[in-house]
Structure 1
Amino acid sequence: MKPLLTAAAAAAVFAFQAPAYAEDLQFQLINDSSADLVEFNVSSASSDSWESNLLEGGYLAPGYEIGVLIADGATTCVYDIRGSFSDGSEAEDYGLDLCEMGGYTFTD
């Protein structure tokens, strides 16, 4: 069984090995669904493709949340989000202003 990502480990995963700048985006990712979140992708809304899986082999269990840092140097707040779950379901959401929202919650 793969370990649950802790907030500290998640911060390391999402930091992309880059220093934090004012343009970097931080938000809370919450799994309020009934299945483990096993893949999580975030891409700028202007992009035509998804960025890599930010969970990198880990998972986020139902009822848990982690801090996400997008340190891509972009000054945008508008992103698309995709999540894949252990039960085979997927969820996508587009054009989200994550600066305004401060977090994103996956639900059933």
Structure 2
Amino acid sequence: MFKVLARRAFMAAAVSAVALGSMAFQSNDGQDRHVRITNATGVTMTHFWASSAGEENWQEDILGSDVLPNGSAVRINIDDGSGACVYDFRARFADGDVLERYRINVCRVSEYRYSAG
């Protein structure tokens, strides 16, 4: 019984970490960089990246070992501590499709929706 409870607590903590983003990085300008990512594509999102616009490389996969099923959403703290507001998003889906969106102002946008078509 203890193992089951410990496992559930660990899973809840892991999901919370993804939903809240890394608390280690916070800009000091008072801007809210939390964005609710909604998956309405009909396919499970398996990876999600957000990198400051103009970066040559994508940062780490924010979803990690989690996925975002179709019809679900997660609130993510996009703040990387740089003070940037404009980010590029990249999402990979279970069917192999990759969607990249550029120059999203996360200081002004509180929700971003991936949809089919």
TM-score class, shorter: 0.7 to 0.9
Q: For 2:73, which of 50, 65, 86 is the aligned residue?
A: 65
Aligned partner (choices 3, 7, 12) of residue 17 of structure 2: 12
Runs of 4+ in 1 over 6 A off after TM superposition: none
Does residue 1:88 correspond to 2:96, yes or no? Answer: yes
Normalized per residue, the structure richer in strand is 1
CA distance in 2, matches of 1:33, 1:39: 14
Q: Alpha-carbon deviations, 1:37-86, whole Å to 9, x = none?
A: 00001000031110111111110001111110123112111000000000
Is the 8 Å Cα contact of residues 88 and 103 (structure 2) preserved in structure 1?
A: yes
Do the aligned partners of 1:23 and 1:74 also contact (CA within 8 Å) in 2?
no
The 10-residue stretch of structure 1 (10-19 or 69-78) with the greater mean CA deviation from structure 2: 10-19
Q: Which has the larger radius of gyration?
A: 2
Counterparts of 1:39 and 1:101, CA distance in 2: 20
Question: Distance in 2 between the 1:80 and 1:37 partners?
Answer: 17
Q: Indicate the residue corresponding to 2:8 in structure 1.
A: none
Consecutive unaligned residues in structure 1, runs of 5 or more? 1-5
Structure 2: 5+ residue stretches without partners: 1-10
The answer for the alignment partner of 1:106 in structure 2 is 114
Change (3 A) 1:41 1:7: farther
Change (3 A) 1:11 1:44: farther
Report the structure, 1 or 2, having the larger helix content.
2
* Kept in 1: contact 2:37–2:74 (CA 8 A): yes
Q: What is the RMSD computed on CA atoms of the aligned residues?
A: 2.3
* 1:30 aligned counterpart, secondary structure: strand
The structure-2 alpha-carbon separation of the partners of 1:69 and 1:11, relative to structure 1 and needing over 3 Å to count, comes to farther
- What amino acid sits opposite 2:66 in the alignment? G
Equivalent residue pairs, number: 103
Name the stretch that deviates more: 66-75 or 49-58: 66-75
